[in-house]
Structures are given as C-alpha cells and as structure tokens.
Chains A and B, each alone.
Chain A
Amino acid sequence: MTAVTAGTAGTTGVPGASDTAAAAEQAAYEAVFDAAVAADERIEPRDWMPEAYRASLVRQIAQHAHSEIIGMQPEANWITRAPSLRRKAILMAKVQDEAGHGLYLYSAAETLGTSRDELLDKLHSGRQKYSSIFNYPTLTWADVGAIGWLVDGAAITNQVPLCRCSYGPYARAMVRVCKEESFHQRQGYEALLALSRGTEAQHAMAQDAVDRWWWPSLMMFGPPDDESTHTAQAMAWKIKRHSNDELRQRFVDIAVPQAEALGLTLPDPDLRWNEERGHYDFGPIDWTEFWDVLKGNGPCNDQRLSKRRQAHEDGAWVREAAAAYADKHTGKHGEAQA
C-alpha cells in the first residue's frame, strides 16, 4: 500500500485547518486504509494507519517479542544438564534462535514508532505481558521435548496465519520465525519419541511432562472467543485471521494423532473424536488457573521477571561501556541511534 504515506498523513490536524476539513481528511485516510485491508494489501511503516491499529500491533508484537525472550529461560534451564552432546547442541541452537526471533520482533515493533529500550522497560515493569506458558517450570529433561512439541506446536498454529497479517513487517518476521519454529517442533517431537521408546523411566518422564504441559499449551490460544477482548477488532483489521477457539481446535486435531504416534496419552478423559463435527471434542479448560497465571500468580512469574530484570541490570555497565566506546571512537554514536 503506497497511496497515503506518513509524510502526508502526518499533516493531519495542521494548525489552522478547520475541524470539518481535518475530519474529512481523516475520513479519506481511513477509507484508503480500510480499502487496502479489504483488498488484502499489506500496510507498511510509512503508510497512514489508525492510531488504535498501531497501538494494537505494538501491544501484540511486543508481547510476542517478550515471549521469545522470557521463553529462553525454561529451556536454558536444561542446557547445562542436557543428557547427550547432540541434544545439548540442538537445545543451544534453539535458545539462540529464540533470541534471534526476539530481535526480529523488536525490530518489527520499532517500525511502528517505539523502541526496544522502551518495550523492554515495559516488560521489566510489568506493563507489558508475555505468554503465560513460560510461567510454568521445566522440572525434567522431558519438559524440553514437551515444550518443543506442544508449546512450539501451539505457537506455530497461532503464528502461521500471522504470516498473512495485514501489517507487512510483522507478517515478514513471522515467515522467518515459523520456518525455524517448525524445525524446533520436529526436534522436540523427536526428543519425546526417543524418551517414549526408551527405558521405562524415560517413558514415564515423557508421559509426566506431557501431562503437565498439555493444558497450559491449550491456554496459549487465549481466552474463549466470548471473553476475548481484542479478537473482533484484530480480525476486522486482519491482524488475526482466526479466533482463539478455532485455532485451539485446530491444534487439538493435529496433536491427538501425534500423541498416539508417540505412544503417549493426553491428560483429558473427555477427549474423543466427534464424527459429526469432524473434530476432537475435549474437556473444559481451567480458566481460573489461566487468569491466575496471567495476573502474575503462576508458578514462575516472579522468577522469570526477576531473572530478566537481573540480566538487564547486571548488563547495564556493559551497555554503557559500549556506548561510551562508540562515542569516543566514532563520535557517531548519537547519529547511529537517531
């Protein structure tokens, strides 16, 4: 979309313009924006966009970026204890990719006029959230496999439609992220398969992990449609393409046969194929737990945020040193930041 750029849109409300003229101009921009969205065109950083669209994207992309960064912790917890060198290499590569995904996503958010520092500040002060799934602990090695299979699986189900999101930079970041996530998901599945087919103790470890991660993974799709505050608007703007419940159902339908192939069970007595619907029916989600975790009362909320803040605070002198060095040696530090 190139019809209206920020250069012209930025003049909306110039002093002296009459209210009616400004309103007419605003309406014209909105019409162009709405038409672009309706035609499945991509909105780009310099295009005019409604403030609420911008704010909604910043919120969603930032939360997504924060999830990548906080999501490094539960897995990094097992890097030093990975049981084989091959698994250790795979896990290190995965955690490295997550940091990379965080970087793409912060960059995508920055195209909307915010900055990484500002977003990190909001994360550290609790004003912006991250995915509630990362507030659960990784208690055994099998949790690393379960996260790969279920958590990454749920993330991919959520993110693949975002590759067609109306905002260009976010959609393009998602294409890259999804490729890497799919790879991680297969590796997680394969790690669980090795455990499931291993010794009795390994099989039990895998089953226990799946039992603990199944429900939190279903909660990753967010509240049910009738309680989701952002869904309707996000769908109208084509930021989201499917509702929470649709994506959750899609994930269950994919995961059930995978669990069977793994030789593991899912912890839901109500789970069964519904011939009529052509979908799996599944039991009720404990939304009390979901809201509790979201409000900060999950098993690891404090730990995750404290560790993130600590890393940031401990690193302050390093960032200051880099800035001071750049100032001294190029004198262009300020320009580079501008």
Chain B
Amino acid sequence: MTGTTDTLTAAAALALGDDALVLSHRLGEWAGSAPVLEEEVALANIALDLLGQARVLLSLVGDEDELAYLREERSFRNSQLVEQPNGDFAHTIARQLYFSTYQRLLYGRLASGDGPFAGLAAKAVKEVAYHQDHAEHWTLRLGDGTPESHQRMQRACDALWRYTGELFQPVDGLDLDLPALETAWLDSVTGVLGRATLTVPSGPRTGAWSAGAGRQGLHTESFGRMLAEMQHLHRSHPGATW
C-alpha cells in the first residue's frame, strides 16, 4: 500500500469502526432492561458483533483502546444516527432497521470487491444479515401489532429519518457507488415500512448540519455524555493495562 492509500484506508476504517463502536455501546445500555429475555440475548448478541467489528476496524488504524477511550467528541467519525439515545424499544428498533440495512448493503459491496475491507466485510456481512433480519421482524411486529406499538414505531421512524441521509455521504477511502447504495437502501426500508403498515417518513433525510456532520466530528449533544461515561474509568488510570 502507498502512503496515500494508508491514510485513506485509515480514514474509512475510523468512520466504519466508530459507527460500530458507538452503536454497540448504545445497545449495551439495554442490558437488563429489555422487554423479554430473548431480547436481552439478541441485543447483547448484536452489540457484541458490532464491538467485534469495531475492534478489527480500529486496530487497522492504531491501538483500539487509545482510539476508543482517549479521543474526544470532535475526533469521532461515526454517523449521528448511531449515537442517538436508545429511547423506547421502537426507537432502538428503528435505529437498527436504518443502520443494519445500510451496513448489510455496504458490507455486501465491500465483500465483493478486492479493497482493504473485503476480508472483514465477508465475515461481517453474515452478522449484519442477522441484525437486519432481527430489525425487520420487530419493525413488522411493532408496526402491525397494536395501535400503541404502531404509533410508537411510526414516531421512532419519523424521528430518526433525518439522520439517514448522512450514511450516504462520501467517506474518504471508501470507493463505492453511493447513489446506487442509497437507492437500494430506500427500496429496502420503504418495502419493510410498507409491510409493517407504516408510512414512509416525509421529512428531509438531512438537516442543515447533519449531512456528513458526524463524519466531520460534529455530533449531537447526547454523544459527549455517552463518551464521558464510556471513557471515565480508562481516563482515570492513565497508562494502566486492564
């Protein structure tokens, strides 16, 4: 690899790695609070898969723990979608639906290429297919369940819609046909929402700041608090190993 490729690969690995790290953390917050035991297992399982992906990706860039625990908010490159607070179960599922659909398409394309992420993507795409399946089934159950679950699911889909445009902003080092990826994503999500008797949100998919903001280190307010909790212990013992 040339020096330029190294830098580009690192930039892309950081973006994808931060996505996985941050979403894994959010899912970890569910432990002990899920609606049924089976979901304790499922959410922890997904969180673990994502954490595994994050560790591989961050290790391509440097020391995984330094990167996770010693960067500040402005240096994280995750999309704003994954840092959104869990909210109720519908909110978590809507976030999972949007993100896992994106991740499955993304890793599917990366796995079929010969770029630096092909190996990782080939393994990760199997995990992500399971995540997407899980999110789709819950979207159907909640959307087409009771009036209350329908309302909650619709509200969650609407609220998170504005963070989905960012997923298709260019990422340095990722050579992908983004418009094609976005079309496939819209087709897939629109199909699931339709089957779930939900209305495809009509609002914008990006805001004044949100287009690519997370990728530039511009995050939403809850993210700093999430990092404070995540990093506190590690930062309290500089140089210690665990």
Q: Which A residues lie at the B interface, using CB under 8 A?
A: 69, 72-73, 76, 79-89, 92-93, 95-96, 99-100, 102-103, 106, 141, 191, 194-195, 198-199, 201-202, 307, 310-312, 314-326, 328-329
Contact = CB atoms under 8 A, between A and B. Distances in A.
Contacts of A92: 28, 31, 44, 47-48, 51
A81 B36 contact: no
B4 interface: no
B28 A80 contact: yes
Interface string B3-46: 00000000000000000010001001101111111111100110
B32 A311 contact: yes
Contact of B41 (A96, A201, A317, A320): A96
Contacts of B149: 317-318, 320-321, 324
Contacts of B141: 321-322, 325-326
Nearest to A198: B240
B241 interface: yes
Contact of B36 (A73, A83, A315): A315
Contacts of B88: 314
A82 B38 CA distance: 24
A95 B35 contact: no
Contacts of B36: 315, 318-319
21 contacts: A72-B32, A80-B25, A80-B29, A83-B234, A85-B51, A86-B55, A87-B242, A93-B48, A103-B38, A141-B233, A191-B242, A194-B242, A198-B240, A202-B240, A307-B33, A311-B33, A314-B33, A315-B39, A317-B146, A321-B142, A321-B145
Contacts of A93: 44, 48
B65 interface: yes
A328 B48 contact: no
B221 interface: no
B28 A88 contact: yes
Interface residues of B, number: 49
Nearest to A327: B145
A85 B148 contact: no
A291 B149 CA distance: 43
A322 B144 CA distance: 9
B193 interface: no
Contacts of A316: 35
A96 B48 contact: yes
A96 B40 contact: yes
- The dominant DSSP class at the B interface is helix
A134 B23 CA distance: 28
B241 A315 contact: no
Given A81-B233, A321-B146, 13 more contacts: A80-B29, A83-B234, A93-B44, A99-B41, A102-B37, A191-B242, A201-B237, A311-B35, A312-B35, A314-B88, A317-B146, A319-B36, A321-B141
A87 B37 CA distance: 23
Contacts, number: 144
Contacts of A201: 237, 240
Nearest to A72: B32
A194 B37 CA distance: 32
A73 B148 CA distance: 29
Contact of B145 (A72, A83, A310, A320): A320
Interface of B: 21, 25, 28-29, 31-41, 44-45, 47-48, 51-52, 54-55, 58, 64-65, 68-69, 88-89, 140-142, 144-146, 148-149, 152, 229-230, 232-234, 237, 239-242
Contacts of A86: 55, 242
A111 B44 CA distance: 27
Contacts of B34: 311, 315
A314 to B, nearest CB: 7
A8 to B, nearest CB: 35
Given A320-B149, A328-B144, A85 B55 contact: yes
A81 B69 CA distance: 10
A80 B148 CA distance: 30
A84 B241 CA distance: 8
Contact of B146 (A79, A194, A320): A320
Nearest to B44: A96
B4 to A, nearest CB: 28
Contact of B52 (A89, A141, A323): A89
A198 B241 contact: yes
Contacts of A324: 145-146, 149
A166 B132 CA distance: 43
Given A81-B233, A95-B31, A318 B37 contact: no
A81 B229 contact: yes
Q: Which of B64, B145, B230, B237 counts the most A-chain CB atoms under 10 A from its CB?
A: B145
A195 B233 CA distance: 13
Nearest to B29: A80
A251 B57 CA distance: 42
Contacts of A312: 35
Most buried by A among B21, B148, B242: B242
A319 B138 CA distance: 11
